[in-house]
Structures are given as C-alpha cells and as structure tokens.
Amino acid sequence: MPESALKMSESAGADDRTELTFAHITDAHLTSPDGASAGELMNKRILGALSWRRRRRHIHRPSVLSALVTDLAAQAPAHVAITGDLTQIGLPMECQAARAWLDELAPPAGVSLVPGNHDRYARAAWAETVGLWAPYAATDATGRVVTRDPGSPDAPEFPAVRVRGPVAFIGVSSSVVSPWFMATGRVGAAQRGHLGRILERAGDAGLFRVLLIHHTPVPGGDKWRKRLTDAGDVARLIGRHGAELVLHGHTHRLQTSGLPGPDGRSVPVVGLSSASADDPRPGREARYSLWTVQHADGGHRLTHRSRVFRDGLFAEGTDWNPLDQ
C-alpha cells in the first residue's frame, strides 16, 4: 500500500460532529486510453479515443493534476469529494490506473466518489471498471446509520452514504452507457426509490446533506445531449425531502444554480471546472473547492474557498464564490 498524499486517519472527522472541511474536485480525466486493443475500441469508445488523440490530451494535463494534489496536501482537508470522470473512455485498464491514483491520494475513508459518464463509456463489466473504486464509493459503517438499503441493480454501490463529522455525503451514480454522440446521464428509478428515504433520514439525524452527482440535476441546466434525463424527478425528490448542497461536474466549467427545497429556500447546486484542465478561459481553469461546514446554534454554517490553477500553481481564487450568488 503506497503512502497517501493526504494524511488522514481512517476515522478522519467521523466522531467530531461540529465541523468538517472537505475538498470537491471533479473531471480529473487522469488516465490515457493509449494501448487499448482494437477490440476494446470497436464500439462508441472509438469516438472518445479519437477525441482524446485530437483534442482532449492537450487540455487534461497530468502536471496540472499533480500540482492540484500537492496543493491539496498542503491545504489538508479532512475529506475529498470527487464527482466522476476519472477516465477518458472507461477501459478496465483506465479504471485500474484510476484506482492506483486514488490509493496514492488518500485512504478509502478519506474520499467519497461517484462515477461520471466517461467512466461508463461503453458496455463493460461493473466489477472490472467502476466497481474497482467501491472502497472509495460504497456506503460504509458510518452511513448505515442512515441507510441499510441495497444498491441499485445497475449501480451496486449507489446510492451510497458516508458520514464525516456533521456531513452526510450522499452519492448517486448518473453514469450510464449513453448512445453514440450523447453524454447523457440517468439516476434511474431504483436509486431514486432509495434516495428520498435517505435524504429524509439524514435530515432527521441533523446531518448536513451533500448530494454528489456527476450531471447537474437542475432541469435545463445543461445541453440536451449532455443532460440528466431524469433531472426533473431528482429535482422533485430534493424539493420534497431537502438537501443542503448539491455538487456536480460534467460541464467542465464553473456553474452556480439552485433547486427549490421543501422550506422554500434554494438548495445551492455547484459545478466545477476540470481538475486537470490546462485551459486559461475564465471559468474553465483547473480549480477545486474547499467547503467548511460548522454545526452551530442548532443549524449549520457553510463557507467556501476556491483554489485555482494560474501560472503553473494553485492559489487562492478570490474571483468566484458560489455562496455570493
């Protein structure tokens, strides 16, 4: 077992119910499909492999992600939330490489992970692909306070609950094999069937509910060919049962919106740019968030900091705070 970049105890933050600082990173696209066999590319993956050769390998740079991990270690959050797209085209060898990267990043108790659409690019055995990440994704002993539900048949680890300090990380998989030229996602009836109960129980337990999902659940929040096809259903669950924060990826740009919660207040829905993007366009530079949740006066206080990649380093990004909008 290699030494992790982030020093965390197996119970990091689990018994301190008063405060947690956690990082959110997304769309690291950290693997390479180079070396895939012709047979592995005889499906929709050929499109992704061509896109990687032509364009994406020039945007998603290992050096940027490596600078992020160095900065993350210095910031020392107690937990890391990752909202999918660790790979390019979801090959078993890419999922193995992503697992090795996770093992170097932090112990499984230090990460809560959901997969993205690139991680399920074509039909593949779950256990040989995103199932390899189960220790970083599945409900653990802390989450069983909220749920003992089995996972869904098509995404066995999800919905997943992991409680760290005052926060319940509730992960749903929107990662499904989509048709050619499409990058849609779907949570599906099986996960949605459990999600309402999970949100309800976590709320009753006084936990700060952070929903992790790759695609934005805001209806109309993304292009038609990239949308979450059951966004309306997921938004209704949040409207009925509530959540305190929704974090997503997929769009590779900063995105702040909201969904109506049960008490009439808006639930913040926040999307980030890619963690490995060597892209100077405003809103698309590599970035990660540091969220702090403090339990106080019978409620919660939420604050946000941003770390952005400029001139070869990550530094404080004072240009964007989703809580100010």
SS3 label, residue 125: coil
Task: Looking at residues 71 to 100 of the shown chain, list those that interact with Fe ion (rule: CB under 5 A).
Answer: 85
Tracing tokens 């926040």 back to the chain, one arrives at 270
Nearer to Fe ion, 56 or 194 (CB): 56
Nearer to Fe ion, 27 or 157 (CB): 27
How near is the Cβ of 183 to Fe ion at its closest, in Å? Answer: 8
How near is the Cβ of 26 to Fe ion at its closest, in Å? Answer: 8
How near is the Cβ of 29 to Fe ion at its closest, in Å? Answer: 6
Q: Which residue is nearest to Fe ion (CB)?
A: 85
Residue closest to 185 by CA, chosen among 312, 271, 256: 271
How near is the Cβ of 252 to Fe ion at its closest, in Å? Answer: 6
Nearer to Fe ion, 27 or 230 (CB): 27
Nearer to Fe ion, 40 or 85 (CB): 85
How near is the Cβ of 247 to Fe ion at its closest, in Å? Answer: 14
Nearer to Fe ion, 115 or 317 (CB): 115
For CA atoms 9, 77, 246, 52, give the dihedral sign.
negative
How near is the Cβ of 117 to Fe ion at its closest, in Å? Answer: 7
**Quick check: 222 binds Fe ion (CB under 5 A)?**
no
State how far the alpha carbon of 12 is from the alpha carbons of 38, 117, 146, 251, in Å. 44, 29, 19, 30
Nearer to Fe ion, 222 or 230 (CB): 222
Distance from chain centroid for Cα 256: 15
| Site map (CB under 5 A) of Fe ion, residues 12-41, x = contact | ---------------x--------------
Beta strands in 215-312 (DSSP E): 245-248, 255-260, 266-271, 287-296, 299-310
Sorted by sequence, the CB contacts under 8 Å of residue 263 that are 6+ apart come out as 242
Residues near Fe ion (CB under 5 A), total? 2
How near is the Cβ of 294 to Fe ion at its closest, in Å? Answer: 31
Sorted by sequence, the CB contacts under 8 Å of residue 209 that are 6+ apart come out as 167, 168, 170, 199, 202, 203, 242, 243, 244, 245
Nearer to Fe ion, 251 or 306 (CB): 251
10: tokens are: 């197996």
How near is the Cβ of 249 to Fe ion at its closest, in Å? Answer: 6
SS3 label, residue 280: coil
Residue closest to 208 by CA, chosen among 232, 182, 243: 243
Residue closest to 255 by CA, chosen among 232, 225, 289: 289
79: tokens are: 């937990």
Nearer to Fe ion, 140 or 278 (CB): 278
Residues that bind Fe ion (CB under 5 A): 27, 85
